[in-house]
Each structure stands twice: as structure tokens, then as C-alpha cells.
Amino acid sequence: MRRLLPLLLLVGLANPICGLGRLVQPGGSQVALGEVSDADGRTLLFPPQAVPALSWLTLPAGCLIDEAKLIFPGGRKTLHFPTVAAPDVRIAFQIPDALLSLTLRGRLPSRLILLRSVGRPGGQGAWITRSLEDLRVDLPPWKVASGFVPGLLVERTGTTDWQAEISGAGKDARRFEFAPGVVQWVFSPDAWGFFPNRIEISGANASLADVRIRAFGPRADLPVDPKTLIAWTEASWRNPRREWFSWSGTSVLVLLSRDYRVQDDYLKRLAFYVEKTGFRGQLITDEAMAGLHGWNAHDYSAPDMARFFTEAASGGFALNASETELRERLIAAGILVPRGQASWEAGTGALVGISQQSPPALRRVLFVHEAFHGLYYTSPEFRQGVLTAWEALSEQARRAFRAFLASSDYDPSFEALMVNEFQAYVLQRSAAEWPAFFRERVLAKVPPQDVQAWLTEFLAAARTLDALVARLYGLKSGEVSLVTTP
């Protein structure tokens, strides 16, 4: 009698019940289901004996549901389902034994027939199968037209860590782990080397909101997380000299170049104009730059780039083809805003650049450094927090850091640059690397009796910066990716 009580309560609320639903058992027999439509969807009432064991229900083709609410002896559970942009998607989900009621919300036929099976359904075509612990989306074979870049876009709601297993044909598979802040992510076959035919989500809240195949055109900035950016192979670039990326979740544009020479074509003159000692604010010719070193990696704010391109245009200074392309990319990304024929204002965003010529380990470190610059340019709260940490240092400690930067051709009289580079040099390293960095590089020429006191200051500032990026972005020193590949 106890097991029937929830059923009797539901029946009392749903009178009369139209017996239009049918449950087809594994052996082919059918059970009539009680049905009632309400504001939440359609509720099906099950005789307790109809579902004797943990099993699966498959909906008819063409059904699209958002969620299924299950009531069973001892509890209840709600399963959520994503939209999947694929033809003829089939949906199946796991149910506990002795299921008493099932409420479906979504697009359903007037005569609903459910198929029960013992094993997980699947087969050809697109499937959404939701167990009590995980979500699996099976995709049909797919490819993208020549000139377009493929991507599998997934969107999620939730505030917990989550994991995804992406599988392709044969043994191709990759596992990804995501911090709570990742609510939209693109799996890029060009980076990871295979087209996915299955994505499986696990974790405390195994759910997705949307799954769709995307094709990014020849002029699009390719959306990536930092982990995918570093994995992306040069062989799959749309242009053999360079590729353009958009750091997902930020307004930072990324230029990845084949080598330092190509990178110089785009960014060397800008480096001298913005940062180099003795050259700041000057547009120098190719001849004047010949033999001078730019940077191995770059970062620039929207205001600095707006001044650079506006001064070049208003003064009739001839830019090269790569710099002109850069300007158009910045305009398309909203980082520069045209004001007339020869003037630009700062929009929203920043630019960073790294080169494939840097070895992989160095390229990763350089990107972390430049990425923190990008976040610095695009967040007033981050800038203020960094300034507070910088000003908490004694003048002697700040002087030591200026001297360290001056040895690499940064202009020590440019205080805003000193503050910005301070955070990037600290945050590009893990906390375990801070003591050696400060002692052996920043304080290498400091009198021995002062080293320990200033080291204590720098370590306190570094911990402040680490806590700042954890609070603002969920990041930590030495890492700018919220996606990991264990």
C-alpha cells in the first residue's frame, strides 16, 4: 500500500485520466499509461509493476523535451536535455525501478508511445541518451565545406565543475575538465585531430543546454580556450603565415604567427611606438628598425593601437600590408572604432601575439604572460587591484623591478608599463617559482642585506595578485585556461 500512495495522490489530482499513453515492454507487451496535461508538460502515471527494474525509455522520433521529472519509491529526480542541432534526433533516458510518474516538458505527440529497454539505446543518426549519472550525445557523421573551419559548440548552465569525453571514429578520444566558469566551449577538430561523433558529460550536474556543429568562415576569428590554442597545429591554418583567434569568454584577439619574421611584419613597429625605450610615440621606418629586436611575444591595448593607426593615417605614414590587415581585423573585432577616414577610437578588447617559432614550452609561458596583459587591458577592476599591489611595495622594491625591466629594453620612465609588466611577470609563473624568480632575476644586483626584506615584499604582492585573478576569473598564477586535459 505504501508504494501505491504517490500514484493514488496523482490520480486524485488528475481526474479523469485519458488513457492515450502506451508503454511497450522489452518483450513486446504493452501497458496503458494514465496521462494528464498540466502547466509543466505531460505527466504519465505508471502502474508500479510496469517498470520492474532499472531500465531505459525511448521517445518516438520527433519528440523534443527539455526535462523529465521522475517520481519513484524513495525519491525523485529531474533530468535535463540539451537542444541538438542535427536532423532526426532520438531521445532516451534511464529510469529507476518501480517508476510511479513521469512528467515530460517539451514537444510531444498527442498519442505518446514509450519503448522500454534494458540496455542503453543508440544506433545510426543523432541520439540524446541521459542516464541517472551522465549525458551522452551521439552525432551523425559530419564535415565542413572547404575554406570553413569546423567546431562543435556546447553550452551549459550550472555552477559546478564538469567533465566531457569527446570521441571520434576508432580510438580517437579526448577528455576535458572544466572549471565552473566555462558555460560555452568549442571543440575544434583542427586542434585535436579528429571529428567527434560523441560527447559524454559527467560530474555533479551532467547536463548541457545546447549542442551544435558550427562552421567558421574564412574571415572569422576562431573561438578558442587557451588549451585549444596551444594545441592548434600550423598545418590546419587558413593562411600559412598566420592565424587569428578569439579567446572565448574575453574580448582578447590573438594573432598566432608562423615565425618571428612574420610576427614582426604585423607588430614590430607597434612595439617600438608603444613600449621601447627611446622610441615611444614615434613611427619609425623599416630601415630604422632593421637590426633592432622587437619582442618574442606582444600585447597591446585598444587606446594604444587607436593612437598608432590614427597617427600613421593623419601623418601619411605608409604602413605595410600586414599592419593594414591588422587594423581591419581590429575594426572587425570591435577593438578599434572608425571615426572618419583617417581616425580610430578605442573600442572594447585587446590584442596579444605569439609565434610558432617559440618552442612549445616557451610558447605556453609567453601566452600566459601575454594573456594576463589582455585581461589587464580589458578589466578596470583588475588594473586597480594590480596598482594597489604595486603601490604597497616600498620604493626600493619598485626601483629594483624597474631596473629588471629596463634590462630588457622596457622604458622604466613609463610607470603604467612598469605596473602592467609587474603583474604579467609574476602571474606567468606558478607560486612555487616566485622565490627563485625574485631572488635570482629581480634582486640579482640588490645588496645582499636587502634581498630578504624585499623578497618578503614581493612574495606578499604576488599572493595578492594570485588571489585577485582567482576572485575575478577563477584562474591561478601560471595558468590562464579554465579547461584542462588530464
Q: For position 289, what pLDDT does the model report? A: 94
124 pLDDT band (50/70/90 cuts)? confident
With beta carbons less than 8 A apart as the criterion, state whether 53 and 99 touch. no
Does residue 182 share a domain with residue 102?
Answer: no
Q: Which residues pair with 163 in a beta bridge?
A: 177, 202
Q: For position 200, what pLDDT does the model report? A: 96
Does residue 172 share a domain with residue 69?
Answer: no
457 pLDDT band (50/70/90 cuts)? very high
| Residue that terminates a domain, selected from 173, 203, 218 | 218
Domain contains 69? yes
Does residue 110 share a domain with residue 188?
Answer: no
Question: Once rounded to an integer, what is the mean pLDDT over residues 201-214?
Answer: 88
Question: Once rounded to an integer, what is the mean pLDDT over residues 444-457?
Answer: 91
- Tell me: pLDDT of 14 over 70: no
- Tell me: pLDDT of 389 over 80: yes
DSSP symbols for 145-156: -TT-EEEEEEE-
- CB burial string 176-208: b at 16+ within 10 A, e below: bebeeebeebbbbbbbbebbbbebbbbbebbbb
| Residue that terminates a domain, selected from 218, 239, 270 | 218
Distance CA 197, CA 457 (A): 52
Question: What is the pLDDT of the chain when averaged over all its residues?
Answer: 92
Q: Which residues pair with 252 in a beta bridge?
A: 350
- Tell me: pLDDT of 2 over 70: no
Q: For position 142, what pLDDT does the model report? A: 86
Q: What is the pLDDT of residues 221-255, one digit of tens each?
A: 999 999 999 999 999 999 999 999 999 999 999 99
18 pLDDT band (50/70/90 cuts)? very low
Q: What is the pLDDT of residues 410-444, one digit of tens each?
A: 889 999 999 999 999 999 999 999 999 999 999 99
- Tell me: pLDDT of 273 over 50: yes
Domain contains 79? yes
Does residue 117 share a domain with residue 12?
Answer: yes
Domain contains 339? no
Tell me the whole-structure pTM to 2 decimals: 0.89
Domain contains 29? yes
Residue type, 52: P
Does residue 424 share a domain with residue 385?
Answer: yes
Domain contains 308? no
Does residue 206 share a domain with residue 149?
Answer: yes
Does residue 61 share a domain with residue 149?
Answer: no
Range of the domain at 438: 379-473
Q: What is the pLDDT of residues 125-156, one digit of tens each?
A: 999 999 999 999 999 988 888 889 999 999 99
**Coil/strand/helix, residue 382:** helix
Distance CA 297, CA 415 (A): 21
* Spatial CA neighbour of 237 closest among 355, 121, 388: 355
| Residue that terminates a domain, selected from 125, 155, 176 | 125
Does residue 166 share a domain with residue 104?
Answer: no
Total domains, the chain:
3
Question: Once rounded to an integer, what is the mean pLDDT over residues 283-290?
Answer: 95
Q: For position 111, what pLDDT does the model report? A: 85
DSSP run (H or E) holding 432: none
Does residue 111 share a domain with residue 11?
Answer: yes
What's 170's domain CATH number?
2.60.40
Does residue 148 share a domain with residue 118?
Answer: no
Does residue 121 share a domain with residue 38?
Answer: yes
Q: For position 48, what pLDDT does the model report? A: 78
Range with the poorest average pLDDT among 115-124, 140-149, 236-245, 458-467: 140-149
- Tell me: pLDDT of 5 over 60: no
Does residue 111 share a domain with residue 178?
Answer: no
Q: For position 206, what pLDDT does the model report? A: 86
Domain contains 188? yes
Q: What is the pLDDT of residues 160-169, one digit of tens each?
A: 899 999 999 8
What percentage of the chain exceeds 70 in pLDDT? Answer: 96
Long-range contacts of 23-29 (CB under 8 A, 24+ apart): 23/50, 23/57, 23/113, 23/114, 23/116, 24/113, 24/114, 24/115, 24/116, 25/50, 25/116, 26/55, 26/116, 26/117, 26/118
445 pLDDT band (50/70/90 cuts)? confident
Domain contains 314? no
356-to-65, 192, 269, 348 alpha-carbon distances in Å: 46, 17, 20, 27
Domain contains 422? yes
Q: For position 123, what pLDDT does the model report? A: 86
